[in-house]
Structure 1
Amino acid sequence: MSFRKVVRQSKFRHVFGQPVKTEQCYDDIRVSRVTWDSTFCAVNPSFVAIIVEASGGGAFLVLPLHKTGRIDKSYPTVCGHTGPVLDIDWCPHNDHVIASGSEDCTVMVWQIPENGLSQPLTEPVVVLEGHSKRVGIVTWHPTARNVLLSAGCDNVVLIWNVGTAEELYRLEGLHPDLIYSVSWSRDGSRFCTACKDKSVRVIDPRRGTVVAEKERAHEGARPMRAIFLADGKIFTTGFSRMSERQLALWDTENLEEPMGLQELDSSNGALLPFYDPDTNVVYVCGKGDSSIRYFEITEEPPYIHFLNTFTSKEPQRGMGWMPKRGLDVSKCEIARFYKLHERKCEPIIMTVPRKSDLFQDDLYPDTAGPEAAMEAEEWVAGRTAGPVLVSLRQAYVAVPHRGPICVGGQGA
């Protein structure tokens, strides 16, 4: 590798992260202590949901985004599970619907009232029973309405039609060991998994087959994650044999060698990757770290370009990630994280420094909106469709001039 310092021109080179003011945090929350490598937090433009400690069962908080400050201990929770909640995911096509997976082996789907909870929510809209061990992963199909995937510690992946509560596909025997992560492709025709056997697999759920597989994607024994990028490549995080944390980029057409591989450090927290398909930036947050590193993925070598690191004092217990349509485009905000501490949730805003008062087309191409591209039945029948895109231009509010809002130059 040559270490010639070439400064790449990138509009994301100066992206900077800023925590919000103290009064804009969510305080006095008892974040779950379960040892499970999920994000523990899910956000959308209406609500933030956080898995919390619950006596005798499993619960998560759902707070309207604006409900910041101290959260009363008696604030109602979603508490229908009989075991700890391990994962939660907001439906991409309805901001009031959230799914949860639990140690009680069930998946539950909840309807959150318009203004949030005024009393504990114990009755799910749907209970999905099919796993024989705890359910550690729930993730909605990106483009088909009412299609939900769950993965359990029984090494089985189930795909459900939530509208009819039926099991659409039961994928058994494809994973010999614990499934660490599942990520849908952008059009939802396939998904990729990272497994404890160190393999990354690309799976066609409708055929029930493994389309591609990379054994020993990372040599280390600690948990890996794999996510699909918009162009069909796969980004993974894991550990080397020497327990160094690594990132890698893979071409699914040829999984022999990674297109790019980078070693980060020798911390031991699992790396949670978050990906923005509109900007092709991947943010990597280590569980138990106090930093968020971000990288731009490009078509040209070395493919993974380090941009910057946001560092704070406190380690993160988990992390939520706001969909693009929930960001403030008039402030050039390109990402927002919801960082979980032991007792609070702190939003962190990522901004591209620009002075202009105009809508920044290049930062905000049309993005996935809340409309589903098809019904569950169409997807089962073999249809494939990408997300229905929306423009963020109408969300843009020109800010009255009070001197420069951001620092740095246009296109910096």
Structure 2
Amino acid sequence: MQFFTRLARPSARTRATSSQTAPTEALDVTTPTPPEGDDTPQGGRKRRLVLPAAVAAGALVIGGGTAAYAQAHKTVTVDVDGVTHQVSTFAGSVDNLLTDEGITVGARDAVSPSGALTDGAVVTVRSAHQIWVDQDGEQRQVWTTALTADEALDLLATRDPDVQLVASRSSGGRPQLALDLSIDGPARVIVDGDMVDVDDADTTVAGALDDAGITLNDLDRVSVRNDVHGHVVVVVQRVVVKDVKRVQKLEYDSSTTQDEDAYEGEESVVTEGVTGLRLIVDRVTTVDGKETSRVEVTNRITRKPVDEVIAVGTKERPVVQPTPSRPSNPGPIGDTTDADSLNWPALAQCESGGNPSIVSSNGLYHGLYQFSVATWQAVGGSGLPSQASAAEQTARAKMLYLRSGAGQWPVCGSRLFS
């Protein structure tokens, strides 16, 4: 955040500040007596000669000087940034008065009036200083000679009624503004959705917040503006910055490869697919609970996706002709006497590895003899073949053999006769 610094100007005297509580100090207006015989000061500026009392009195009488003396002497009021004092002077111009008073005026300072100095005049000096303003969401520095925040806001409002003064934060965390809040009238503090009135507005921003019992957090913002009624309003915005994490899933791709050792229609998973993960961290800024910005600070893959690979069989299934040993008259269904002598364990070992509950990778073939569900039902089976007992599976396999022969098992059927 920006800090306001009031420009210090060299001065031969203690200069009045913009604080309305600064004590009024009577300034020394005695004109120093020049060295004897020297009537020209350094820098070429003429200085008044201080004559001995008798000579001066004679000169005044001779030249009718009483009237001239009275005309040259003036009593004026000097107002420096709201602190006033009276001065008795013989200066003929405002510039000479300020020089005699040791008041240095900067290029941006305001002095009124200018030119010749008259008796009873009020000479006003306003110091220029820089302040931060917020206009249309952008902050910039401007110069002002205003004494108070509401005076500065009134001047700035002629160009933009929505302008705000921005308070900086000191090293101790207290909000600072180069101006007091107001000469008179109350100030209001808006914070956390509430409005708190501060009776004595002739104070600093930090003082107003202290009076209202408001504690600022490290990132809170403080600004000053006028409300629709012209009252000075101190606005405290609660600012929170935090990192928000989110995890994004990365889908994996799937591909197939040909398997010459597997029959057409058979599939097997070669590589299981794994979903990847991406970690994203956003730095989110909220002002009074509303998000104002989001900046991505981390974006990295914490787990790479693994693509799925599926093997698809390409080998044609052979056609096995019925064997001569097939009975010509197998008898009624349920009578498996003619098939009992065949090598059923060898067929089961070839088809399923002897596992009665196994299911092919494509889900089509079940059990010891790799029945399809339709074939299983055709020989009187119910449910899934892989859920039936090994004995029932063998009995129904014998029934299938008696109906259709060993050709039902085109690859392994020959094992029945081993």
TM-score bucket of the superposed structures, by smaller chain? under 0.3
Bigger relative contact order, structure 1 or 2, given CA contacts below 8 A and separation 6+? Answer: 1
TM-score, normalised with respect to structure 2: 0.19
Whichever structure has more strand as a proportion of its residues is 1
Instruction: Report the structure number with the largest CA radius of gyration.
Output: 2
Whichever structure has more helix as a proportion of its residues is 2
TM-score, normalised with respect to structure 1: 0.19
